[in-house]
Structure 1
Amino acid sequence: MEYIYRVHAIERMFQRDIYENQVEKVIEHGEVIESYRDDKPYPSFLVLGYVDGVALHVVYAKDDKNNIIVITTYRPNVNKWKNDFKTRKV
């Protein structure tokens, strides 16, 4: 298993000062809060984790070889997410 970072994820990580070790920590220890089973070519998942007390969302998928494909990552915005950062505001 290896981590594969999409170009979009790398661009966003650079813009947002998010590092690979933070992303991987969230994927390994975070909580899946949404599943996108119909995504193509592989189902994807939104994970919430905390790095140094700061919430971080990571969207990733797993390919047929069990590699983790990092699609994007961001710090959840309180205008779009409830205080638990697990529930979207309507």
Structure 2
Amino acid sequence: MNIKVFQDLCADSKIIWTQHCLQRMQERNIRRADVKNGIKTGEIIEAYPDDFPNPSCLIFGYTIMGSILHIVAGCDNINVYIITAYYPDTNKFKFDLKTRRKR
């Protein structure tokens, strides 16, 4: 899984927004432009290659205003599928907001 593929597809507006994602983004006050910027500035911090119907990953990136954002997205090399986006916290992630805490 390569962040460049996500970035290139995103730059070409090859993005599919799931209904779940749009609902959660509205609840969390996250804009589409912030998700796009998060992918543009992002790095993959977890990969889920066995996800169905497409492999997906957790992307660590930044909003337009510089806040840290996590984006869960899948990819079929034709489109990026935005599954959800959220502002991470230290309850589930360590201080760097990249490393998941052990359960």
Q: Report if TM-score (shorter chain) is over 0.5.
A: yes
Aligned length: 89
- Confirm or deny that 1:57 pairs with 2:70: yes
- State the partner residue of 2:54: 42
Q: Distance in 2 between matches of 1:63 and 1:24?
A: 17
Q: Distance in 1 between matches of 2:56 and 2:34?
A: 19
TM-score (norm 2): 0.81
Q: Going by fraction, where is helix more abundant, 1 or 2?
A: 2
Amino acid at match of 1:73: A
Cα displacement string for residues 15-40 of structure 1 (whole angstroms, at most 9, x for unaligned residues)? 00000011011112201000000000
Output the aligned Cα RMSD: 1.1
Instruction: Give aligned-pair identity as a percent.
Output: 43
Q: How does 1:21-32 map to 2 (within 5 A)?
A: 21-32=33-44
In structure 1, the gaps of 5 or more residues are none
TM-score (norm 1): 0.92
